[in-house]
A = this chain, B = another copy of it.
Amino acid sequence: MRKPRTRIELYYWPGIQGRGEFVRLLLEEAGAPYVDVARESKDGLAAMMRFLEGDEPGALPFAAPFVKVGTAVVAQTANILAFLAPRLGLVPDDEALRAGAHQIQLTLADFLGEIHDTHHPIAGGLYYEDQKAAAKRRARDFVGERMPKYLGWLEQVLARNRASGGRWLVGSERTYVDLSAFQIVDGLRYAFPNALAQLEPKIPRLIALHDRVAKRPRIAAYLRSARRQPFNQMGIFRHYRELDAPPRRARKAKR
């Protein structure tokens, strides 16, 4: 049920990958015509603010990202993906599979929220430096408990999905959820390189999924392009050495 391709307007903060990146990956994989409004046009950021401040008709977004497709304004990352994916052939028609895909996407959203809160456990409006002690405690729990739990769950979902031979998370082909899982692994590799390296042997299917997505022709072209912004210390995935696990060698030396 692919509909005629109207131009999609994506609205998100310039300068970071952030939550907007999950939408970009879907649009890029689909080869969909889109405009990254706040990055591409001079008045784009002001246009985005008009939506957030309630000066435009349609649904009122609580926050960016949101997309405009025709007259529809759609916000909340997972909702945007669930709205666009059927139009762009990135999720199967079957209702149970769609619910299964969305369930995984929402779990990735929870995971992402916890990743964010490792460096901002007290308040998004405070500097990292003003919540560093709490961040260290939260990150210790994240690295030791939450990150292995989420990644292990994703590995298990892959192992159980016989329809794809463990290659994709839902159904027999790649869906938008696989693109999001790629982004999570990619971001963790930037933010928590030691912790991820130590977990990698336990999640071979997920790592293979990451590499498989990275090699898809359109995604590979996107990742090489200037449209892909690098990870940085203003986004959701941030690398602070003190929040990551210690390197394996240092850990062994301590024993």
Contact = CB atoms under 8 A, between A and B. Distances in A.
A22 to B, nearest CB: 13
A209 interface: no
A74 B61 contact: no
A93 interface: no
B121 A106 contact: no
A247 interface: no
Contacts of A153: 60, 62
Given A123-B138, A138-B123, A141-B123, A79 B61 contact: no
Contact of A103 (B74, B99, B102, B117): B74
A118 to B, nearest CB: 10
A78 interface: yes
Interface in A62-95: 62, 71-72, 74-76, 78-79, 82-83
B107 A76 contact: yes
A156 to B, nearest CB: 6
A76 B62 contact: no
A108 to B, nearest CB: 10
Contacts of A125: 141, 145
A135 to B, nearest CB: 9
| Best-surrounded residue of A96, A117, A126 (most CB of chain B within 10 A) | A96
Interface of A: 54, 59-62, 71-72, 74-76, 78-79, 82-83, 96, 99-100, 102-103, 106-107, 109-110, 113, 117, 121-123, 125-126, 131, 134, 137-138, 141, 145, 150, 153, 156-157, 160
